[in-house]
Structure 1
Amino acid sequence: MRGENMKEQKKQRVIVTGGSKGLGRGIALTFAESGASVVVADVDSEAGERCVQEIKEAGGEGLFVYTDVSSGEDVKKLFEESRHFQGGINVLVNNAGIGHGPMSERHFLKTDFAMWENLMNIHLNGLYHCSQLAARAMIHQGEGGSIINMSSGGATRAHRNRVAYDATKGAIEAATRAMALDLAPWKIRVNAVMPGSMWVENRTAVGNESSPDLLIPLGRLGMPQDVGQGVRFLASPDSSYITGHILAIDGGLTSQLRAPSMDADVALSLDEIDLGLASSGSKE
């Protein structure tokens, strides 16, 4: 079964927006390890070309296309070049976005319209431009396909000083569910992943700089490949009956009401747990 799935994975033709660095790079390389053809779309040309080289070294085929996803013309060019390179598209990963930093973090009363509009243009208009062209191409091909969007814990649990960012992520989840219904007749599945706190290649924590063992039930920050594996699953035949779903990849972060450190007094140590093994090997 695993061999069949890997064989199926090799047929995939993938576009990853915002794919040159961070989580996008991790997603692109995860697909490449399965032999997929991956088009990396980004505004960082230097990092994009490096990522393509890594894709080839990992066993995939790669192409970089400079793309500002908020520009309909750029996205149209992306899909034209992608079609010439890989003949079509099976998987679109709408990863392009603005993460933590001055372009997304600001108190609501200090959030000017330019900042609000920029986040909407990249996160929502970018998703619209790319998903429209991907869906039409998939319908034309007649083979179905998979569109995977990037959400955030901020879609349902707010961040302070990130009103505009959280608003876009909530909209992305709503769009994911609605797109899943509209595109289901053509066997196009639409899902989203919700990453938690992550390490990226510059070793900066994305999501929360606090000690992970104090906040995350699994006791560590996520890695880009954790997200990549979740995205690859949602694009694979193994998830053929899953659509309209938001997959949390966060080590249990959003499942809890309180951080593990707040419940330390009720946690059990291993020597306090009866595993039922003490007498299993004894003889009468």
Structure 2
Amino acid sequence: MDTSLHGRQALVTGAGAGIGRGCALALAARGATVIATDIDRATAQATSEHIRAAGGASEAFALDIGDDSAWESVLAAVRERHGPVTVLVNNAALKASVAGDRGLLDSSLEVWDRVVATNLRGPMLGARRVLPDMIAAGTGAITMMTSTAALYSISGFATAYSSAKAGMIGLTRTIAATYGPQGVRCNAVAPGVIMVGDDTASQEAFRKATGGLVERTGVPADIAETVVFLSSDAGSYINGQVLVVDGGITAHMPGLSHSQNA
């Protein structure tokens, strides 16, 4: 399968750390010019410098994904210096734990609006801004970073986050259905538990929590390689789909599985 991305401009949001940085590095390793963006420009710059040190092509920008004018400004600069973006990875998100996102009756409307503005409106704005160039080029690949939180819920936690991530799946499918005939593919990736760094105690706690059926948490590279596949010609026959990359968490019920294996 050809996962080469030479000659393509790939913009990654939230590229300063974690999954976003992993995606940026993997896309660059396949030959893409990577536009690393983050609300914290210093972290995006660190990712971009890492790519260039390895011989890749990259530039960093500060980007608040919830600000439409910021999208317009960044994409205009990218278009002038590198050409139009034909690969978009909508990764940046506001975590429920950071926002104080709890049960519906325990969270404020301000929390709801803030989470939805970042986690659903932001990816919508990005897609809306890159689509004209992709349509003009007759090719494009958009990956929405949704979450397994869109597929199952945790009582009293992440109401806005789960809702916004589920909304991304609907957005993915409508973009695919509408613009697929014009050469644009749009898919979603739903990561499970992803750990940055090596924490043996946490890994063991995770294994026990899943009844031993999932041996480890994911790492950014697990998600990044999936994004590379979807962004490349190797994934050219995949459109409007949600790829769950969770080690099998959503494929079983740990409590019942554990009791059956006892």
TM norm structure 1: 0.85
Question: CA 1:89 to 1:261, structure 2 compared with 1: closer, same or farther past 3 Å?
Answer: same
Gap regions ≥5 residues in structure 1: 266-284
Give me the whole-angstrom Cα distance separating, in 2, the residues matched to 1:227 and 1:240: 18
Q: Which residue of 1 aligns with 2:247?
A: 251
Kept in 2: contact 1:149–1:172 (CA 8 A): yes
Q: Which residue of 2 aligns with 1:53?
A: 49
Q: Which residue of 2 aligns with 1:277?
A: none
Give SS of 2:98's match: coil
Bigger shift: 227-236 or 30-39? 30-39
Kept in 2: contact 1:32–1:56 (CA 8 A): no
Give SS of 1:146's match: strand
Q: Which residue of 2 aligns with 1:139?
A: 135
Matched, 1:155 2:150: yes
Give SS of 2:97's match: coil
Matched, 1:99 2:87: no
Kept in 1: contact 2:12–2:89 (CA 8 A): yes
Find the partner of 1:75 among 71, 75, 84.
71
RMSD (Å) for aligned C-alpha atoms: 2.2
Give the Å deviation of 1:178.
1.1
Give SS of 2:5's match: helix
Give me the whole-angstrom Cα distance separating, in 2, the residues matched to 1:188 and 1:77: 22
Q: Which amino acid aligns with 2:176?
A: A
Q: Which amino acid aligns with 1:96?
A: A
Question: CA 1:83 to 1:209, structure 2 compared with 1: closer, same or farther past 3 Å?
Answer: farther
Give SS of 1:70's match: coil
Give the Å deviation of 1:211.
2.0
Q: Which residue of 1 aligns with 2:116?
A: 120
Give me the whole-angstrom Cα distance separating, in 2, the residues matched to 1:210 and 1:198: 14
TM norm structure 2: 0.92
Q: Which amino acid aligns with 1:145?
A: G
Question: CA 1:74 to 1:163, structure 2 compared with 1: closer, same or farther past 3 Å?
Answer: same
Q: Which amino acid aligns with 2:142?
A: I
Kept in 2: contact 1:13–1:38 (CA 8 A): yes
Matches within 5 A, 1:261-280: 261-265=258-262
Matched, 1:110 2:106: yes
Give me the whole-angstrom Cα distance separating, in 1, the residues matched to 2:99 and 2:186: 28
Q: Which residue of 2 aligns with 1:269?
A: none
Question: CA 1:58 to 1:205, structure 2 compared with 1: closer, same or farther past 3 Å?
Answer: farther
Kept in 2: contact 1:22–1:224 (CA 8 A): yes
Matched, 1:44 2:37: no
Give me the whole-angstrom Cα distance separating, in 2, the residues matched to 1:239 and 1:98: 28
Give me the whole-angstrom Cα distance separating, in 2, the residues matched to 1:211 and 1:197: 9
Find the partner of 1:19 among 15, 22, 25.
15
Question: CA 1:42 to 1:201, structure 2 compared with 1: closer, same or farther past 3 Å?
Answer: farther
Q: Which residue of 2 aligns with 1:86?
A: 82
Give the Å deviation of 1:263.
3.9
Give me the whole-angstrom Cα distance separating, in 1, the residues matched to 2:21 and 2:103: 30
Give SS of 1:194's match: strand
Deviant stretches of 4+, over 4 Å: 201-206
Q: Which residue of 2 aligns with 1:65?
A: 61
Give the Å deviation of 1:202.
8.5
Encode CA deviations 1:102-134: one digit per residue, 9 max, x unaligned: 315323222101110011111111111110111
Give the Å deviation of 1:100.
4.5
Kept in 2: contact 1:119–1:168 (CA 8 A): yes
Question: CA 1:147 to 1:117, structure 2 compared with 1: closer, same or farther past 3 Å?
Answer: same
Give the Å deviation of 1:212.
2.7
Matched, 1:220 2:216: yes
Give the Å deviation of 1:12.
2.1
Kept in 1: contact 2:124–2:171 (CA 8 A): no
Question: CA 1:204 to 1:59, structure 2 compared with 1: closer, same or farther past 3 Å?
Answer: farther
Q: Which residue of 2 aligns with 1:229?
A: 225
Give me the whole-angstrom Cα distance separating, in 2, the residues matched to 1:104 and 1:234: 33
Question: CA 1:162 to 1:74, structure 2 compared with 1: closer, same or farther past 3 Å?
Answer: same
Give me the whole-angstrom Cα distance separating, in 2, the residues matched to 1:31 and 1:172: 22
Bigger shift: 250-259 or 190-199? 250-259
Give the Å deviation of 1:70.
0.5
Question: CA 1:37 to 1:98, structure 2 compared with 1: closer, same or farther past 3 Å?
Answer: same
